[in-house]
Amino acid sequence: MNLSLILTDSARRFPEKSALFFNGREISYADLLDQVMRLAGGLQKLGLKKGDRVAIALPNRPEFVIAYFAILHAGGVAVTLNVAATPYELTHYLADSGAKIFITDSRKARIWEELKGKVPTRTILIVDSEEEETSFNRLITSSEPVSTVPVEKNDPAVIIYTSAMNGTPLGAMLSHYNLFTNAEAIRAVEGIDKHDRSIAVIPLFHAFGATVNMLSMIKYGGSIVLVERFEREQLFEILTENRVTYMTGVPLIFMGMLAHPKAEKYDLGALWLCFSGGCASPPGMVEQFKERFGIDIMDGYGLTEAAPVVTSNQINGRMKIGSVGLSIPGTTVKIVDDAGKECPCGKIGEVVTSGPNVMLGYFKNPGATRAALKDGRLHTGDLGYLDEDGFLFLTGRKKDMIITNGLNIYPKEVEKVLRMHPDIEEAAVVGRPDPIKSEIAHALVVTKPGQPRDEKNILKFVRSHLAPYKAPRKVMFVKELPIHKIPKTS
């Protein structure tokens, strides 16, 4: 059961229909499949074998979709990477995954010389290059289409890196079946079908963007409008011009739409449903959005390790404002105490989930896998409670993690980089509430004796090692690290 067959099936049923829209371009299902099959053949010519990993670091553009499905079609495993990843982060991702091939654009290709001596990856394909040795497009045009490589349903299809408690990112392995069933469940709760046209604002390298925007739409023959870079004014224009019917996003995007002073001049008449995830919606957002635009926002919950959707409010009227909904079909959600015993309705505990969407484990890390998967259940590290109707309400986190604009920041990863700075003796990272982004990260820093307290220099150092969203928004200098990370002095 190869996940790429969902594209094959839709191309058979809707060959002339536009699968992708991007900057004035349209790509039909038939053309998309042809390019996927040819790139799969090209990857095999480069030595790709069943089970080999191929890394992708691309924004939302057609080449991401082509590469993703071609890797699966050829029997490989797609390692989808954040386009904002720094050389420091990429070195770990490529080395840990053992990716044979790296597919990216010219912006990331500039750092290839720095990377290639440190990683096992030996081939780079650049989507906006015409150099014969590295051109993604030339490999497609020079290759013959190949048949789908058969795989088992529980073979890994995708690896997505997510930071861990110890500060070292882990590769969550999602199987063909994990992703297939999650895409199928999204249709059941959100009601999308072949008539829908979604807008891909959330990055496709993220589990949320890939499953909810790409896989679910392609599986049911819908169309996808790809947005390479989010801009609020441009968003309204794209929604109007492309008659988008279905939109997924994080609360910051929907809050931005609400704040637009001239939103009424745009025709959003085709848009009938929005799905919000990544972090909790601010109080009143769902009601205000419905009042202003006449459109429902369905709040949901998930995590990379669950492919990613676990719960969702549903279009059939089964929804409660303030909750993140009911468990999706085939998935169970329980609340347990510290001893692993199930909690009664209304009592707060850790959210655990099981079902066909739960990951295989962390790549090459059985210890971390055992810690996350216990007795067949995924321990999410999130705290919440179930009401008498089975709706999940989130209340906090058991694990040390900050969520900013729907993206996870693990303090230990940032603290590890801060301690690499030559002027810093010790550091801790904490989350501070933010009405728009949910939380923002602040750093508490103890400098070495005689060293300057230079906030700009420290932030620049962090951003040179980590993706920008992980960098603290403020540095607070302290004499010593406080217990529970509460600053005593500044």
Question: Which tens digit of pLDDT belongs to each residue from 235-264?
Answer: 999 999 999 999 999 999 999 999 999 999
How many CB atoms sit inside 10 A of residue 485's CB?
A: 14
pLDDT confidence of residue 487: 43
Ranges of each domain in the chain: 5-151, 182-397, 410-485
Place of tokens 């070495």: 448
pLDDT tier at 490, thresholds 50, 70, 90: very low
Question: Which tens digit of pLDDT belongs to each residue from 343-398?
Answer: 999 999 999 999 999 999 999 999 999 999 998 899 999 999 999 999 999 998 88
Domain 410-485 is found in CATH 3.40.50.720: no
pLDDT confidence of residue 132: 87
Q: Rounded mean pLDDT of the chain?
A: 93
Rounded to whole angstroms, the Cα distance separating 51 from 100 reads 11
Query: What type of residue is 188?
Result: A
| Level-2 CATH architecture, domain 5-151 | 3-Layer(aba) Sandwich (3.40)
C-alpha distances out from residue 284 to 78, 251, 254, 277, 487, Å: 39, 11, 12, 16, 32
pLDDT confidence of residue 423: 95
Question: Which tens digit of pLDDT belongs to each residue from 19-45?
Answer: 999 999 999 999 999 999 999 999 999
Residues β-bridged to residue 225: 21, 199
Rounded to whole angstroms, the Cα distance separating 63 from 476 reads 42
Place of tokens 């190869």: 2
Answer whether residue 79 shows pLDDT above 80.
Answer: yes
Query: What type of residue is 32?
Result: L
Assigned token pair, 377: 């259940």
Assigned token pair, 144: 């013959």
Assigned token pair, 50: 């069943």
Q: What percentage of the chain carries pLDDT values higher than 70?
A: 98
User: What's the predicted TM-score (pTM) here?
Assistant: 0.91
Assigned token pair, 268: 């959003």
- With contact defined as beta carbons under 8 Å apart, do 177 and 356 qualify? yes
- What CATH number does the domain located at 182-397 have? 3.40.50.12780
Answer whether residue 315 shows pLDDT above 90.
Answer: no
Tell me whether domains 5-151 and 410-485 share a fold. no
Average of per-residue pLDDT across 151-180: 92
- With contact defined as beta carbons under 8 Å apart, do 472 and 443 qualify? yes
pLDDT tier at 484, thresholds 50, 70, 90: low
Question: Which tens digit of pLDDT belongs to each residue from 95-151?
Answer: 999 999 999 999 888 899 889 899 999 999 999 998 988 999 999 999 999 999 999
pLDDT confidence of residue 283: 84
